[in-house]
A and B are shown apart, each in its own frame.
Chain A
Amino acid sequence: MSPDLMRGANGLTPDLARTAIPQYELGKLSPTSPIQPSTAITPAGGNFESTLGQLVSGVTAKQAAAGDAVAGLATNAGVPLHRAMIAMEEASVSFQLMVEVRNKLLESYQELMRMQV
């Protein structure tokens, strides 16, 4: 390969490109700070109901995006196969997340109902 072929349109040589890729420095990779319980009863984002509503609408949006991607693939609208598959995977995993949250919620409710008074 000639040196010209190795040069990208933005003038990046392989050496330059290597430095352009972010270096993961150990100091920067501090672990995510542990989630602090919110002191107020209603956190800044609203109550739990609206948080759950946001989760559900996020999952709905992912599923709509997956539906659009598959429709785009089926109607030959220029959506590549892997984009459609990844969109479907994302929809599936986020749906699974929602189901897990629902299961936990139901579990704690049933735990409460079983409580002796």
Chain B
Amino acid sequence: MINVLNGINTTASALEAERIRMDVISQNIANAEVERAPGAKPYQRREVVFETILNQQPGMGGISEAGIQVARIAEDERAPRMVYKPGSPYADAQGMVALPDINIHEEMADLMTASRAFEANLAVVRNARTMAMQTLSIGKR
């Protein structure tokens, strides 16, 4: 099939990966205040790990296209936050409740990074399109 937008698959894979990262951050933020019964393990903060995938493209003169993908979603092994909440049904004998190890400021900073990275990849798409359209206008008078 004709290839009109070069390198778009690499950018698309990055957009996909950033979207998954945003999904994981939204899980972290959503679960930040979820309490668990004493003894049960509270939600652990998750983090995406990206990796490079190489696709040999026949049309690029032996230069491989390096896309990215999410290698795995790792769990952060930090200890749960202990909060004094004697009214909670999940409070232990001392009135302490285990909350997930999530710092909302850290999550917001990660969210901003993911959003900016997504935006940067969208700028690549936009520029690829502009370049293609400008190339098509060769010979217009």
Contact = CB atoms under 8 A, between A and B. Distances in A.
Interface of A: 1, 4-10, 12, 17, 20-22, 24, 28, 55, 58-59, 61-62, 80, 82-83, 86, 89-90, 93-94, 96-97, 100, 104
Interface SS, B side? mixed
A5 B139 contact: no
B51 A8 contact: yes
Given A10-B71, A89-B125, A97-B136, A5 B63 contact: no
Interface string B60-91: 01111010000110100000000000000000
Interface of B: 1-2, 4-5, 8, 12, 15-16, 19, 47, 49-52, 54, 61-64, 66, 71-72, 74, 122, 125, 129, 132-133, 136, 139
Contact of B61 (A28, A55, A82, A89): A28
A65 to B, nearest CB: 8
A59 B125 CA distance: 19
Instruction: Enumerate the 10 nearest inter-chain pairs by beta-carbon distance, A residue then B residue, closest first.
Output: A8-B51, A8-B71, A9-B71, A93-B4, A82-B15, A58-B2, A93-B132, A94-B4, A21-B66, A9-B72
A36 B55 CA distance: 29
B126 to A, nearest CB: 9
B52 A20 contact: yes
B16 A82 contact: yes
Contacts of A62: 1-2
B53 to A, nearest CB: 9
Contacts of A61: 1
B4 A97 contact: yes
Nearest to A59: B2
A61 B54 CA distance: 26
A8 B15 contact: no
Contacts of B129: 89, 93
30 contacts: A1-B47, A5-B49, A8-B51, A8-B71, A9-B49, A9-B51, A9-B72, A17-B51, A20-B52, A21-B52, A28-B61, A58-B2, A59-B2, A80-B16, A80-B19, A82-B122, A83-B12, A83-B16, A86-B12, A86-B125, A89-B125, A89-B129, A90-B5, A93-B4, A93-B129, A93-B133, A94-B4, A97-B4, A97-B136, A100-B136
